[in-house]
Amino acid sequence: MKGKMKVCVLTGKRKLEWVERDIPQPGPGELQIKLEYVGVCGSDLHFYEEGCLANWTLDGPLALGHEPGGIVTALGEGVHGFAIGDKVSLEPAVPCGTCEECRKGLYNLCSNIKMLAIPHEKDGVNAEYCVHDASMCYKLPEQVSTLEGAMIEPLAVGLHGTELSNAKVGETAVILGSGCIGLCTLLALKARGVSEIYVADVMEKRLKKALELGASKVFLSPKESIEDFVKTLPGGGVDHVYECAGNRATTLQTCRLIKRGGKVTLTGVSPEPVLELDIASLNAKEGTIYSVYRYRNLWPKAIAAVASGRIPVKEIVSHIFDFKDCIEATEYSLTHKDEVVKAVIKM
């Protein structure tokens, strides 16, 4: 496909603008993709609200969006295994493949990685078309929609946390934060056979969704204490705690909620670089802490789990906005967090 396309670009704090650009053409090893759905992620909202995220600062126009599903419209030179018309989900970060981390299989930690919607790495996909390295594009089976394809990215975060911590059937878990990543963690735990899962949040709508998706019990944090509750469980805690809010208060709670020998997995991304942990509780329980950075080697597993019906990831989506309303979708997702569980933009 050639011609012009519309792109929604972030130019400053809470400043999104429409621009027209040439439709990008695929280079060697790349696919051109017509985007159909793009998820609105919490990191998009951080960039939109603050103009920065973790160590990255907005210093020029940046298209947001890194959770894409779409249709192949052109193949670059040397690409095999794809055809025009294929439905695909994109793993948004393209590693170099040659550094020490890549060679060890830890490609998510590649220091030369190029991630969608990150300054000086790659523009995001809040656009009509994009090009992407074919090695990081995955075909979707017939029964999996491109909407579900867009939800593979957050699902992979949830799967990665539960794989790192090796959650097993018969174990117990607490999830702190039931936004999209907390709910994806819930679905990943259930798929691994963990059936006793407790979820805490400050927003009722998100907790309601957690119950619908199979949480054993939910806690509205301002009114109910999950710390008091877990003390009544056998062993005085749970096997696993997943911090999915990226929040000072919940991070401090984590070590108090595990039983002896339990595991804490820090999945949430905090806007603040430094948060406290209750190290005395962690030491007394000889707990283990895992930190999560994106995902690796999970797209085929995640797609298979969705295709089989084992993980109903589209159930998390609460709002679908048209691409023409991309600016409103971003603002609404930021200002109505009590309503929006997960927003997706339909291109």
Q: What share of the chain in percent tops pLDDT 70? A: 100
Determine the pLDDT at residue 316.
97
Q: Do 268 and 171 sit in the same domain of this protein?
A: yes
Q: How confident is the model at residue 170 (pLDDT cuts 50, 70, 90)?
A: very high
Residues in the chain: 347
Question: Which CATH number covers residue 234?
Answer: 3.40.50.720
Using alpha carbons only, what angle is made at residue 313 by residues 160 and 192, rounded to the nearest 5 degrees? 45
Q: Of the given ranges (20-24, 138-142, 271-275, 334-338), which has the lowest mean pLDDT? A: 271-275
Q: Do 85 and 9 sit in the same domain of this protein?
A: yes
Q: Do 76 and 184 sit in the same domain of this protein?
A: no
Q: Do 70 and 125 sit in the same domain of this protein?
A: yes
Q: Do 23 and 142 sit in the same domain of this protein?
A: yes
Determine the pLDDT at residue 1.
83
Does 226 map to a domain?
A: yes
Determine the pLDDT at residue 78.
97
Q: Do 141 and 167 sit in the same domain of this protein?
A: no
Determine the pLDDT at residue 97.
95
Q: At what angle do helices 180-191 and 152-164 cross, to 10 degrees?
A: 60
Does 307 map to a domain?
A: no
Q: CB–CB of 92/149 below 8 Å?
A: no
Q: How confident is the model at residue 126 (pLDDT cuts 50, 70, 90)?
A: very high
Average pLDDT over residues 248-268: 97
Question: Which CATH number covers residue 94?
Answer: 3.90.180.10
Q: How confident is the model at residue 103 (pLDDT cuts 50, 70, 90)?
A: very high
Residue 272 has pLDDT above 90, yes or no: no
Q: Do 63 and 144 sit in the same domain of this protein?
A: yes
Give the C-alpha separation, 206 to 193, whole Å: 22
Average pLDDT over residues 147-151: 98
Strands 68-75 and 129-133, by their bridges, are unpaired
Give the H or E element holding residue 181.
helix 180-191
Which domain does 250 fall in, by range? 156-291
Does 301 map to a domain?
A: no
Q: What share of the chain in percent tops pLDDT 90? A: 94
How far CA 220 is from CA of 182, 226, 248, in Å, comes to: 14, 9, 17
Average pLDDT over residues 153-173: 98
Q: How confident is the model at residue 269 (pLDDT cuts 50, 70, 90)?
A: confident
Residue 189 has pLDDT above 90, yes or no: yes
Q: Do 287 and 337 sit in the same domain of this protein?
A: no
Give the C-alpha separation, 64 to 11, whole Å: 11
Determine the pLDDT at residue 35.
98
Q: Do 200 and 107 sit in the same domain of this protein?
A: no
Does 85 map to a domain?
A: yes
Give the C-alpha separation, 42 to 180, whole Å: 9
Residue 54 has pLDDT above 80, yes or no: no
Q: Do 111 and 208 sit in the same domain of this protein?
A: no
Average pLDDT over residues 87-95: 98
Question: For the chain, what is the domain count?
Answer: 2
Does 326 map to a domain?
A: yes
Determine the pLDDT at residue 52.
86
Determine the pLDDT at residue 79.
97
